[in-house]
Chains A and B, each alone.
Chain A
């Protein structure tokens, strides 16, 4: 199984309660998987500022030495917002260099996300607990995707939890299983992608990361994925200023979309969407197989 939710707020109206609405949706999907959960939330960000979400799995680390080291490397101020075993570092400096430094020098840490708009939290355990622990409900923003996991392809660990990052401000959640992930992982490693787990969904994330780096738009990358990914999948993908959905050509993994003037919501099951304000007036439909759906904030390219 596994449960997916995505919420994209088209207008200001519900942005102060993005986190609360996402938490309510995630709660409804608990029955689809209690192994682990995660969420990515997006806001507008600040001009010239970028963020890294970093995980120290199983630790309660002292984040201050990490912050100081990043300031030294970047020669710029770095703010840290620790939250248990996660911390968000924010800087006007070169976040790619900061990410690279952590990957090369702190093997005990994982960079969960990087970009101008995204923050990403995940952990093993009950989705409600994960949402509470990382204060999902208090967050505001423009869009969010979240996942509850019932593990099939790899171990139940925080790093094996969704969402998986696919590049700056881009991440993916997956319901399904890929059958060619082993072969594809080898091919992507040859193309310069790196993987932290044996998880099939991380391969899908790496695939998108590779295509986006090669210059594909998200539409082009997902259209190509239909050819290159073999298996069952419903994906929800968070991108800068937007979000996307793709199902495989057979489409047996469930998905439903609802849209009003104020929001677009996607979930594995309608009961997650049934909790949203104004749902009675929403247009509701089942996304078609092998069709790329994208939404972006007005005036912002997806």
Chain B
């Protein structure tokens, strides 16, 4: 397979992204991103993209399929609203990594900043280091695996996403509680760590999830009116 290289020191970001959007397959290398925003965002095919250097906001955002690797750090909104595919960052990411993601796998080998996985809807996120405050805020579905520590207010107003943390948790957010770690959870974490290419023993993790006390909808209430209860 031929490899197409874009050097962003001379090529335009729009050319790069237009090419990626038009491609049905292929392998691409991006040099000198220098913190540019929206690099490799909107991929909609099974492409392989390697980015050598730091990227700015919304790298690999909204991707459906594809395999994006960043050899460097990423800024805010890494893989935001990812639908499927894989995004792997060798360094750290700032705020809102994997935010609102519906599917796929996001790996940050270093630390992720605040609100990692905010409102996640099915994406799997694995962070080799720490996550910042309010991570997984209003998480609805999917798994957040943190090999390091978690900042304040983890899982605030959580719906049904799973959070696994190996290190310490500064504080749990409203309605987030520690839950039992069963064999099925250890298996899930082990699988995600293996797929991420990281190294950790799933037995060392604690699980956090929703206490479901903030839910204002109860299935039992659906016919409450008919029963004359309200």
Minimum CB–CB distance for B32 against chain A, Å: 9
Q: Please state if A289 and B133 are interface contacts (CB–CB under 8 Å).
A: yes
A69 is an interface residue with CB less than 8 A from chain B = no
CB contact list, B58-73 vs A, under 8 A: 73
A126 is an interface residue with CB less than 8 A from chain B = no
21 chain-A/chain-B pairs, Cβ below 8 angstroms: A251-B114, A251-B133, A254-B75, A254-B76, A256-B75, A269-B35, A269-B37, A269-B56, A269-B57, A270-B56, A270-B75, A271-B56, A271-B75, A274-B34, A274-B53, A285-B111, A286-B92, A286-B95, A286-B114, A286-B132, A289-B114
Q: Please state if A269 and B75 are interface contacts (CB–CB under 8 Å).
A: yes
Minimum CB–CB distance for B153 against chain A, Å: 10
- Known A-B contacts A254-B76, A269-B57, A270-B54; the reply to A286 vs B37 at CB < 8 A is no
Q: Tell me which residues across on chain A come within 8 A of B75, comparing CB atoms.
A: 254, 256, 269-271
Q: How far, in whole Å, are A289 and B57 apart by their CA atoms in the complex?
A: 19
B151 is an interface residue with CB less than 8 A from chain A = yes
Given B53, B94, B133, which contacts A256 in the complex, CB threshold below 8 Å? B94
Q: Please state if A285 and B133 are interface contacts (CB–CB under 8 Å).
A: no
B91 is an interface residue with CB less than 8 A from chain A = yes
A173 is an interface residue with CB less than 8 A from chain B = no
- Closest residue of B by beta carbon distance from A254: B76
Q: How many residues of A contact B (CB 8 A)?
A: 18
Q: Tell me which residues across on chain B come within 8 A of A256, comparing CB atoms.
A: 75, 94
Minimum CB–CB distance for B53 against chain A, Å: 8
Q: Please state if A271 and B132 are interface contacts (CB–CB under 8 Å).
A: no
Given B53, B94, B111, B151, which contacts A254 in the complex, CB threshold below 8 Å? B94
Given contacts A270-B94, A274-B35, A284-B73, 14 further A-B contacts (CB under 8 A): A252-B95, A254-B76, A254-B94, A254-B95, A270-B35, A270-B54, A271-B34, A271-B56, A272-B35, A275-B34, A285-B92, A285-B113, A286-B132, A289-B114
A221 is an interface residue with CB less than 8 A from chain B = no
Q: How far, in whole Å, are A289 and B91 apart by their CA atoms in the complex?
A: 21
A40 is an interface residue with CB less than 8 A from chain B = no
Minimum CB–CB distance for A262 against chain B, Å: 18
A288 is an interface residue with CB less than 8 A from chain B = yes
Q: How many residues of B contact A (CB 8 A)?
A: 21
What mask results when residues 264 to 279 of chain A are scored 1 for a CB within 8 Å of chain B, else 0? 0000011111110001
- Closest residue of B by beta carbon distance from A28: B35
Q: How far, in whole Å, are A269 and B94 apart by their CA atoms in the complex?
A: 10
Q: How far, in whole Å, are A286 and B53 apart by their CA atoms in the complex?
A: 18
B16 is an interface residue with CB less than 8 A from chain A = no
Q: Please state if A286 and B94 are interface contacts (CB–CB under 8 Å).
A: yes
What mask results when residues 4 to 41 of chain A are scored 1 for a CB within 8 Å of chain B, else 0? 00000000000000000000000010000000000000
Q: How far, in whole Å, are A254 and B77 apart by their CA atoms in the complex?
A: 11
B36 is an interface residue with CB less than 8 A from chain A = yes
Which of B's residues lie within 8 Å of A, judged by CB? 34-37, 53-54, 56-57, 73, 75-76, 91-92, 94-95, 111, 113-114, 132-133, 151
Minimum CB–CB distance for B21 against chain A, Å: 22
Q: Tell me which residues across on chain A come within 8 A of B95, comparing CB atoms.
A: 251-252, 254, 286
Q: How far, in whole Å, are A272 and B36 apart by their CA atoms in the complex?
A: 10
Q: Please state if B113 and A286 are interface contacts (CB–CB under 8 Å).
A: yes
- Closest residue of A by beta carbon distance from B91: A284
Q: Tell me which residues across on chain A come within 8 A of B34, comparing CB atoms.
A: 271, 274-275
Q: How far, in whole Å, are A251 and B133 apart by their CA atoms in the complex?
A: 9
Q: Please state if A288 and B151 are interface contacts (CB–CB under 8 Å).
A: yes
Q: How far, in whole Å, are A49 and B85 apart by their CA atoms in the complex?
A: 62
CB contact list, A108-132 vs B, under 8 A: none
Given A254, A271, A286, which contacts B36 in the complex, CB threshold below 8 Å? A271
What mask results when residues 234 to 274 of chain A are scored 1 for a CB within 8 Å of chain B, else 0? 00000000000000000110101000000000000111111
Minimum CB–CB distance for B112 against chain A, Å: 9
Q: Which of A251, A274, A284 has the most CB of B within 10 A?
A: A274
Q: How far, in whole Å, are A28 and B66 apart by their CA atoms in the complex?
A: 30
Minimum CB–CB distance for A220 against chain B, Å: 22
Q: Please state if A273 and B35 are interface contacts (CB–CB under 8 Å).
A: yes
Q: How far, in whole Å, are A252 and B35 apart by their CA atoms in the complex?
A: 19
- Known A-B contacts A251-B133, A270-B73; the reply to A284 vs B114 at CB < 8 A is no
Nearest 9 CB-CB pairings of A with B: A271-B35, A286-B113, A274-B35, A286-B94, A270-B35, A274-B34, A270-B75, A271-B56, A284-B73
